[in-house]
C-alpha cells in the first residue's frame, strides 16, 4: 500500500468514525426518521452533483430492483437504526458495534450461502458475542430505561451491512461503484421517506444541529463513498475493508474529545474482543492447523 492509499485509508476511518459523533448530536433533535431521510437525501444529491461534474450518467432505472435491495440494507435501515440508538448509546459504543459487520457477514454466509465455518470464523463469532456482552454488561456507555432496545438497534445496523455485503457480490457487472452508490442512496431516500413523515421532529434545530446533518450527509456519506471506492480501485476490496479496524479508534477518540464521553474498562475490553472477532471472522487473522503428533 503506497503513501497516498494509506492517507486515504486513515482519512476514511476518521470520517466514518466521526459519523457517530454527528449522529449523536443530531438524533435527539431531528429524531430517527427525519435524520435518516436528510442523510440519505442530501447524500444522494451530493453524489448526483458529483456525477454531473464528472459527466457520468448512472444507470438508475435499468437496475432499480438491485438499487432498492442494496439501498434498503446498506443505507436506509442502518441509518434508521443508528439514529434511534444514538438517543441512548454513546458515539464510542456505536462505533464499536458497527465493527461487528464482518462478523455478521461470516455468520450469514454460513447460514445463507452454506459456506463452511472454519475454526477461525467460529472463534471470531464467539469473541464478537463476548465483546458485545462485555460492552453492555459494564453499563458505562449506555443510559436511559430503553437501553436494551438501543443496543438491539445498534446491532441490527451492522447486521444489515452484513446482508448488504452478500447482496453486493451479485451486483451486475455493468455497474460501477459510483452507480451503486448513487442508485442505492436515492433508493434509501425514497424508502425512508414514509418513516420520516410518520416520526415527527423532536426539537427545534440549532445551527450546530444543521451543521451536524450537513457533515453527516455530505462528508460522512457522499465524500466517504468516493474515498472508499477509490481505495477499492487502488488496493482492492480486502485491504480497503481494513478500515473496519480503524473506525472504532476514531469513533472513541471523537467521542472522548468532543462529547466528553467516558471510556471505561468495559469499552476497552469489549472493543478489543469485537475487533479480534472481526479479524478472525474476516480472515485477516487465521488459526494455524494443528500438526499431527
Q: Which of 99, 127, 140, 86 is nearest to 267 (CA)?
A: 140
Q: How would residue 227 be classed by pLDDT, with cut points 50, 70 and 90?
A: confident
279 alpha-carbon distance from chain centroid: 16
Residue 205 lies in a domain: yes
Q: Which of 225, 258, 267 is nearest to 243 (CA)?
A: 225
Find out whether 275 and 99 touch, Cβ atoms under 8 Å. yes
Residue 273 lies in a domain: yes
pLDDT of 13 > 80? The answer is yes
Q: Average pLDDT in the 169-193 region? A: 82
Q: Distance between CA 189 and CA 211 in Å, rounded? A: 20
Q: What percent of the chain has pLDDT over 90?
A: 24
pLDDT of 114 > 80? The answer is no
pLDDT of 64 > 50? The answer is yes
pLDDT of 139 > 70? The answer is no
Residue 13 lies in a domain: yes
pLDDT of 293 > 50? The answer is no
The per-residue DSSP string of the chain comes to --HHHHHHHHHHHHHHHHHHHHHHHHHHHHHHHHHHHHHHHHHHHHHHHHHHHHT----TTTTHHHHHHHHIIIIIHHHHHHHHHTTTB-HHHHHHHHTTHHHHHHHHHHHHS-----HHHHHHHHHHHHHHHHHHHH-TTB-STTHHHHHHHHHHHHHHHHHHHHHHTT--TT--HHHHHHHHHHHHHHHHHHHHHHS---S---HHHHHHHHIIIIIIIIIHHHHHHHHHHHH-HHHHGGGGGTHHHHHHHHHHHHH-----HHHHHHHHHHHHHHHHHTTSS-PPPPPP-
Per-residue pLDDT reduced to its tens digit, 230-253: 776 676 655 666 677 778 888 888
Residue 286 lies in a domain: no
Q: How would residue 292 be classed by pLDDT, with cut points 50, 70 and 90?
A: very low
At 186, list the grid cell: 436515492
131 alpha-carbon distance from chain centroid: 18
Burial 220-257 (b: 16+ CB within 10 A, else e): bbbbbbbbbbbbeeebeeeebbbbbbbbbbbbbbbbbe
Residue 223 lies in a domain: yes
Q: Average pLDDT in the 82-98 region? A: 87
Residues spanned by the domain of 207 = 3-281
Residue 93 lies in a domain: yes
Q: Distance between CA 140 and CA 135 in Å, rounded? A: 8
Per-residue pLDDT reduced to its tens digit, 15-36: 988 899 999 999 999 999 999 9
Q: Distance between CA 153 and CA 114 in Å, rounded? A: 26
Residue 140 lies in a domain: yes
Residue 293 lies in a domain: no
What is the number of structural domains in the chain? 1
At 146, list the grid cell: 430503553
At 177, list the grid cell: 461503484
Please state, rounded to an integer, the average pLDDT across all residues of the chain. 80
Q: Distance between CA 205 and CA 30 in Å, rounded? A: 7
Amino acid at each position: 500500500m503506497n503513501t497516498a492509499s494509506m492517507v486515504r485509508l486513515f482519512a476514511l476511518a476518521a470520517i466514518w468514525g466521526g459519523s457517530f459523533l454527528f449522529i449523536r448530536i443530531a438524533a435527539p433533535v431531528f429524531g430517527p426518521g427525519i435524520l435518516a431521510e436528510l442523510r440519505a437525501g442530501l447524500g444522494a444529491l451530493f453524489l448526483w452533483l458529483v456525477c454531473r461534474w464528472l459527466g457520468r450518467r448512472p444507470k438508475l432505472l435499468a437496475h432499480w430492483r438491485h438499487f432498492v435491495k442494496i439501498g434498503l440494507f446498506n443505507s436506509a435501515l442502518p441509518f434508521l437504526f443508528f439514529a434511534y440508538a444514538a438517543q441512548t448509546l454513546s458515539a464510542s459504543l456505536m462505533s464499536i458495534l458497527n465493527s461487528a459487520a464482518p462478523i455478521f457477514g461470516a455468520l450469514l454466509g454460513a447460514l445463507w450461502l452454506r459456506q463452511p465455518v472454519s475454526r477461525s470464523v467460529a472463534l471470531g463469532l464467539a469473541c464478537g458475542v463476548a465483546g458485545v456482552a462485555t460492552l453492555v454488561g459494564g453499563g458505562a456507555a449506555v443510559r436511559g430505561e430503553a437501553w436494551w432496545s438501543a443496543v438491539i438497534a445498534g446491532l441490527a445496523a451492522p447486521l444489515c451491512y452484513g446482508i448488504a455485503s452478500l447482496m453486493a457480490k451479485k451486483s451486475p457487472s455493468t455497474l460501477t461503484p459510483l452507480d451503486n452508490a448513487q442508485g442505492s442512496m436515492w433508493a434509501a431516500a425514497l424508502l425512508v421517506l414514509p418513516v420520516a413523515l410518520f416520526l415527527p421532529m423532536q426539537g427545534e434545530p440549532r445551527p450546530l444541529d444543521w451543521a451536524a446533518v450537513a457533515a453527516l450527509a455530505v462528508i460522512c456519506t457522499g465524500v466517504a463513498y468516493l474515498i472508499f471506492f477509490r481505495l477499492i480501485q487502488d488496493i482492492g476490496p480486502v485491504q480497503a475493508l481494513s478500515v473496519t479496524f480503524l473506525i472504532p479508534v476514531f469513533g472513541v477518540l471523537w467521542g472522548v474529545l468532543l462529547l466528553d464521553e467516558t471510556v471505561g474498562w468495559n469499552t476497552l475490553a469489549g472493543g478489543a474482543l469485537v475487533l479480534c472477532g472481526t479479524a478472525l471472522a474476516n480472515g485477516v487473522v487465521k488459526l494455524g492447523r494443528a500438526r499431527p503428533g
